[in-house]
Amino acid sequence: LAQTPAAMALTTRRGGGADQPSLGFLTNRDTEVRLPRATRVKNKAPAGVQITAEQILREARELQEPEIRPPRQRITDADELADYRLGERKRFEGLVTRGGVAAWVKYARWEEGQGDLARARSVYERALDLDAARRDHALWLKYAEFEMRSRCVNHARNVWDRAVSLLPRVDQLWHNYIHMEELLGAVANARWLFERWMGWRPDIAAWNSYIKFELRYGEVERARAIYQRLVAEHPRPDTFIRYAKFEMEHGGTEQARRVYERASELLVDDEDAELLFVAFAEFEENRPEVERVRAIYKYALDRVPKGKADDLYRKFLAFEKRFGDREGIEDAVVSKQRFQYEDEVRKNPLNYDSWFDYIRLEESAGNKDRIRDVYERAIANVPPAQEKRYWQRYIYLWINYALYEELDAQDMERTREVYRAYLKLIPHKKFTFAKLWLMAAQFEIRQKNIKAARRILGNAIGMTPKGEIIQRVH
């Protein structure tokens, strides 16, 4: 069938003219992606001439284009100088409107270089009118250093005084101010500044600077007074140790010992008390005072938390190996085991097996006060539930405590108090232990106190009418 011209044109646009570039369409050949054919490397050996990083950098430097620098200007008369200064000031004024402190400092340094101190001072003052710049101590430092370079001492003092008044917590301002006064030989002014600084209660470094200042001028008594104020303001082991070393150098052994003794009383509960006691012991060991050293170590081991006394114990054991006898070394070894048990019962106070091991250790050492202390701490850990199965292991702490007081300590009154305490503690309405009643009664029988034994057994029958107790009564 014959087609109209419009239909023929549509057919040509849809497919008939797709392969004809003259019609403005891309052909299949044009859109085909042709990848290069992979070539095999014929020689894999390294090249004879290797290119190093140094060669690459040297070549880049050689090919680098020269930096464009503005032409040097030569000023020949006052008018040209005035024009130059006017242009520079306009440029700096544009910089400081959008720049920070650094722009103001550059502006002031330029004015200083031009010899116009009044303008440089004016630039610094304009910068300090800005709140952000006023709080920047670097600007105050630059301003004061400018006045010092210009030998304007009173101006410099004024700047320093304003700076430390506005920013009293910035130590560098105080240090530089005091250093300037020292350079000028105004020792009294420097001391007054230190006192003013100490009124802000700074950190320890500031106090140490004050002490070193006094020692530079041979004022030992003033330095001692500052140390006393320092340890009152910062009662820490490191400050007391530094004070004691000062006394050892300028005062003597007795003065240093008094400092250590005072610190031992004040800082016994401090978290860094171990450092203090170690320093105290080493101080006495250098004298040498062997008994004092041993007493210090034992005092510290009794009071420093067990988790923080590892270094203290190691030094104590090393000390005993150097100066102690066999008994002292054994005592040091017991102290190590004591630390281990203390750590165990601290982690789990209801672990009665650890308490039994700890008690046996103290009984082998033979110190009654320690033994009783461990017993009292152990029996204080009452089972949380009032069920008999939880108490069956616990009651043997009381039994062993009573037997120790009767047989080893031979303190019958304390033994009687132990029996009374545990019979009162047990919740008899829920459960009881016939063995405890019988042991308490047998103790009274051994003491020839039959009346007390009958009373104990009578109470036992009233609370727990077990056959074993009734049989013993008969």
- Of the pLDDT bands very low, low, confident and very high (cuts 50, 70, 90), residue 332 is low
| Positive or negative: CA dihedral 334, 335, 338, 340 | negative
The neighbour count for residue 219, using CB atoms within 10 Å, is 16
**CATH class given for the domain over 235-349:** mainly alpha
pLDDT tens track for 125-134: 999 998 888 8
- Of the pLDDT bands very low, low, confident and very high (cuts 50, 70, 90), residue 30 is low
- Of the pLDDT bands very low, low, confident and very high (cuts 50, 70, 90), residue 300 is confident
pLDDT tens track for 308-321: 777 888 888 788 77
Rounded mean pLDDT, 196-218: 95
11-20, 29-38, 257-266 — most confident range? 257-266
SS3 45: coil
Mean pLDDT of the chain: 84
Q: How far apart are CA 411 and CA 75, in angstroms?
A: 109
143-152, 331-340, 389-398 — most confident range? 143-152
Does the predicted model carry a pTM greater than 0.75?
A: no
Q: What is the pLDDT of residue 329?
A: 66
| Positive or negative: CA dihedral 331, 337, 339, 341 | negative
Rounded mean pLDDT, 36-51: 78
The neighbour count for residue 38, using CB atoms within 10 Å, is 5
User: On the CB side of 247, how many CA atoms lie within 13 Å of its CA?
Assistant: 21
- Of the pLDDT bands very low, low, confident and very high (cuts 50, 70, 90), residue 121 is very high
> What is the identity of the amino acid at 380?
A
Percent of residues, the chain, with pLDDT higher than 90: 36
Query: Is there a contact between 308 and 271 (Cβ–Cβ < 8 Å)?
Result: yes
Rounded mean pLDDT, 408-434: 82
Q: What is the pLDDT of residue 123?
A: 94
In sequence order, the 6+-apart residues with CB closer than 8 A to the CB of 188 are none
- Of the pLDDT bands very low, low, confident and very high (cuts 50, 70, 90), residue 464 is low
The two tokens of residue 471 are 């049989």
Range with the poorest average pLDDT among 89-93, 185-189, 236-240, 404-408: 404-408
Q: What is the pLDDT of residue 7?
A: 47
Radius of gyration (C-alpha) of the chain in whole angstroms? 45
Q: What is the pLDDT of residue 17?
A: 45
The two tokens of residue 425 are 């503690």
Nearest residue to 318 (alpha-carbon basis) of 343, 293, 299, 339: 293
Question: Which has more confidence, 42 or 225?
Answer: 225
CA 50 and chain centroid, separation: 54
